[in-house]
Amino acid sequence: MSHTKKKDTKRKEHTGTILIVDDEPSVREVLESILREEGYRTDFAENGHDGYEKALELIPDLILMDITMPVIDGFEVCRRIRTKPPLAQVPIIIITAIDNDEYKSRSIESGANDFLSKPFDIYELIEKVRKNTYRVADRRNEESLTGD
């Protein structure tokens, strides 16, 4: 007699593409696992330069980004993204191990929409991701209705 779990027959709908920019493979893997379970597609970059290039290519629905990375830090990537339409409208959530008010302020000043400290709470991450991707979906729906 087999004791296997039943497969979950409910599949989550695709709810957007999220670009994860972090130089730590373990962080990328954890984020990918959480986000795919929630129905998101994911793509990755290991440093700020590659993250910026990948963002230009994909125009994702959301970017999750570390601050301290090789080549270009997350602050500079945020600033560059905010100057490049249509990428400029993509929400950015900074996820970093550095949890202090200066980094939070610099993140927002650089163009990030939100901030999350590592280690992060999974439910807080999901809430912030949903909130930001819903805004993108609403804006895209509005643009398609108005023709903008």
> What is the domain count for the chain?
1
pLDDT digits (tens, 9 = 90+) for 54-76: 999 999 999 999 999 999 999 99
pTM, whole model, 2 decimals?
0.84
Does position 8 have pLDDT exceeding 80, yes or no? no
Q: What is the mean pLDDT of residues 33-40?
A: 96
Report yes or no: 42 and 18 within 8 Å, Cβ to Cβ: yes
Neighbours of 60 (CB within 10 A): 24
Q: What is the CATH number of the domain that holds 119?
A: 3.40.50.2300
- The answer to the question of residue 12 being in a domain is no
Q: Residue 49 is part of which domain span?
A: 17-143
pLDDT digits (tens, 9 = 90+) for 88-116: 999 999 999 998 999 999 999 999 999 99
- The answer to the question of residue 45 being in a domain is yes
**Largest Cα span, the chain:** 61
